[in-house]
Amino acid sequence: MRKTEYKNRRRKFLIIFIGILSVVLAAEIGYIALLYNRDNSSSPDSVNKDMGLNTPSYQTDTEDTSAMTPAPATKPANTSEKPVQQSDNIKEQINSMSLDEKIGQLVIVGLDGYEADEHARQMIEEYRVGGFILFTSNIQNSNQMLELLNSLKNINRANKVPLFLSVDEEGGRVSRLPDEFLKIPSNQIIGKLNNSSVSHQVGSIIGEELKSFGMNMDFAPVLDINSNPKNPIIGDRAFGTGPNLVSKLGVQTMKGLQSQNIIPVVKHFPGHGDTSTDSHVGLPKVDNDLKRLRNFELKPFARAIENGAEAVMVAHILLPEIDPDNPASFSKTIINDVLRLEMNYDGVVITDDFTMGAIVKNYNIGQAAVKSILAGGDIVLVCHDFEKQKAVISALKDAAQSGQLPMDRIDRSVIRILRLKQEHKITDTPASTVDPESINKKISALLK
């Protein structure tokens, strides 16, 4: 009886011991597998797959896009923003800024006439705007233009942050500078030359022109591919009809501008070349999917980003295959998921002008501006109409105060803006004199 009881106890002990040992071994194996999966998933490719993104190469080594391996046509998943790099002094500056000062940095505006009028003064003193853009309606001659820019700087000197002073100076038919300057050839002409050195010189000369006036930003170069003969707005503004040529020459013009400490704003992301509607008049609709964009329109922008693009202008184009509800200029799919996450871009994103027909004929301008910042944009461009400018600023502030536009989202944009202004050492110091003759000699030499 005792021997049988001893055997039963021994059998129970062995069963319990084996059970405990099995549990421990299973836990160890699971922990090792967890470590293995974590380590392998930390690579960029694995992370992108988890987010529903891919990592296309955007190669531009050949114009024959049919020979390229097609990228998946899937839409990227909506994901959160990446962290924004910032220095300690920017962090301190952000913490010291009021809501009005932060909201103001999210807007660049235009002005009426040849002088800094009361509306311009109000935009600086009350609304703390981040910058101004000039058009031919603001420019009579070199002396007047210089005086206008210096007066804007003088008004802004009481503010903490210097102004972006910008213009559309592309060369060809899109030129705002005074008639004292010779005109730069169009991108189409530069494209036919197909000379990287000439393209770089064009950017450098334009940069020198703008720098002589004390400007610091140019909405150029155009990186659109002129692929649609019926396009009413791009045409000779493009370097050519293929991604390789546009990439090569566009990047060189961008670098030429940067060589003069002018910020280039490459445009019009994700590509305005295949539209048949002028976005100044209406809302263009393009039925290309993401696969097509990756293999064609996005290539020049990808090359520019690889080469240090600092600012990107996003177009008012509706791409129903990618985002059926929002134009690119306030589409989270286009701005955050494609441009920032997939293309790894952490620079400043600026919209095209919100007073264009594409916006004002189809959307509430204030609500659209809020959606643009929520989508990952940084600056809303409002080129005309003082009331519309106030409406955009008011909508952004109201959205911030209600919580619709989180302060973290605002701060990310302000960090990028301050970082760019600091990197270019932008100040409100007035410029002194302009010498068109010396620059015209360089333009003449370019044209020979």
Q: pLDDT tens digit string along 33-78?
A: 433 333 333 333 333 333 333 445 555 444 433 333 334 444 554 4
Beta bridge partners of 379: 350
Q: Do 117 and 237 lie in a common domain?
A: yes
Q: How sure is the predictor about 102, in pLDDT bands with cuts at 50, 70 and 90?
A: very high
As a whole number, mean pLDDT of residues 348-353 equals 98
pLDDT in tens, 240-284: 999 999 999 999 999 999 999 999 999 999 987 777 566 676 788
**How is residue 207 written in tokens?**
């940069």
Phi-psi category of residue 385: left, alpha or beta, with phi > 0 → left and psi -120 to 50 → alpha:
left
Active-site pick, 280, 289, 385, 411: 280
Q: Do 300 and 395 lie in a common domain?
A: yes
Q: Do 218 and 277 lie in a common domain?
A: yes
**Dihedral Cα 266, 336, 163, 220, nearest 10 deg:** 10
The chain-wide mean pLDDT, for the chain, equals 86
As a whole number, mean pLDDT of residues 353-369 equals 96
Q: Do 106 and 202 lie in a common domain?
A: yes
Whether residue 272 is preceded by a cis peptide bond, meaning omega within 30 degrees of 0, is: no
pLDDT score at 282: 72
pLDDT score at 71: 41
127 pLDDT higher than 60: yes
Q: Do 32 and 151 lie in a common domain?
A: no
Give yes or no for a contact between 393 and 120, defined as CB atoms under 8 angstroms apart. no
pLDDT score at 418: 97
d(CA 107, CA 329) in angstroms, rounded, equals: 14
d(CA 252, CA 250) in angstroms, rounded, equals: 5
Among 69-73, 315-319, 386-390, 395-399, the minimum mean pLDDT is found in 69-73
Residue 60 lies in a domain: no
Element (H, E) at 167: strand 164-167
Give yes or no for a contact between 430 and 154, defined as CB atoms under 8 angstroms apart. yes
* pTM summary value: 0.83
As a whole number, mean pLDDT of residues 299-327 equals 97
91 pLDDT higher than 80: yes
Report the percent of the chain where pLDDT is more than 70: 79
pLDDT score at 447: 74
Report the relative pairing of strands 348-351 and 380-382 from DSSP bridges.
unpaired
CATH (domain of 303): 3.20.20.300
- What's at 245, amino acid-wise? L
d(CA 168, CA 72) in angstroms, rounded, equals: 36
Domain count, the chain: 2
As a whole number, mean pLDDT of residues 401-429 equals 97
Is 316 known to be catalytic? no
As a whole number, mean pLDDT of residues 403-432 equals 97
Q: Do 36 and 99 lie in a common domain?
A: no
Q: Do 9 and 104 lie in a common domain?
A: no
pLDDT score at 234: 87
d(CA 252, CA 263) in angstroms, rounded, equals: 14
Phi-psi category of residue 436: left, alpha or beta, with phi > 0 → left and psi -120 to 50 → alpha:
alpha
Q: Do 23 and 127 lie in a common domain?
A: no
Q: Do 326 and 394 lie in a common domain?
A: yes
As a whole number, mean pLDDT of residues 16-28 equals 49
pLDDT score at 283: 82
| CA nearest neighbour of 172 among 221, 211, 138, 123 | 221
- φ, ψ for residue 111, nearest 5 deg: -145, 165
Q: How sure is the predictor about 375, in pLDDT bands with cuts at 50, 70 and 90?
A: very high
Q: Note down the domain range covering 270.
A: 88-447
Residue 81, number of CB atoms within 10 A of its CB: 16
Q: Do 24 and 134 lie in a common domain?
A: no
| CA nearest neighbour of 413 among 383, 379, 386 | 379
Active-site pick, 168, 224, 337, 352: 352
Q: Do 215 and 324 lie in a common domain?
A: yes
Q: What is each CA distance from 348 to 47, 69, 92, 376, in whole angstroms?
A: 24, 31, 20, 10
Residue 416 lies in a domain: yes
| CA nearest neighbour of 358 among 330, 397, 394 | 330
Q: How sure is the predictor about 10, in pLDDT bands with cuts at 50, 70 and 90?
A: low
d(CA 293, CA 301) in angstroms, rounded, equals: 11
Is 218 known to be catalytic? no
Residue 67 lies in a domain: no
pLDDT score at 277: 65
pLDDT score at 410: 98
As a whole number, mean pLDDT of residues 313-338 equals 96
